[in-house]
Amino acid sequence: MKKILLLLTFSISLFASSISSSEASNYIGLEKTVCGKVVGTYYAKSSNGAPTFLNFDLPYPNQLFTAVIFERSRNSFSGNPESMFKYKNICVTGYIDEYKGVPQIIVENSSQIK
């Protein structure tokens, strides 16, 4: 029972302090948890750093937010991130920055995604 209560408390606190992908641009430079639905993914293995892009709520190029996983971090996942998270509602925690006008979080470890 204690484990269930602890898990419930953690889940509530995660969502209470999280923001939606549409709010992420208001928090550039801050550490936040951004939640939304991954509607598109792309593994650019021939690009510099071989990034995987998880695009939230609207498909590329109109995505509201992107979680970026570089090749060096892919081994922290139990599978391919582009398959694991596609069409899933997830929350990503980290520092929000911006690339070409789109807010993003660089994911260094699988523990940043719930």
DSSP state of 112: G
CB-CB contact of 69 with 49 (8 Å): no
CATH of the domain at 23: 2.40.50.140
- The pair of three-digit structure tokens given for residue 93, joined into one six-digit string: 């925690």
- Residues ≥6 apart with Cβ < 8 Å to 96: 24, 27, 28, 29, 30, 31, 32, 34, 103, 104, 105
Please state the rounded mean pLDDT for residues 89-99. Answer: 99
Structural tokens at position 58: 């609207």
User: Total structural domains in the chain?
Assistant: 1
Q: Name the residue range of residue 95's domain.
A: 2-112
pLDDT tens-digit series, residues 36-57? 999 999 999 999 999 999 999 9
Q: What does the pLDDT look like over 65-74, one tens digit per residue? A: 999 999 999 9
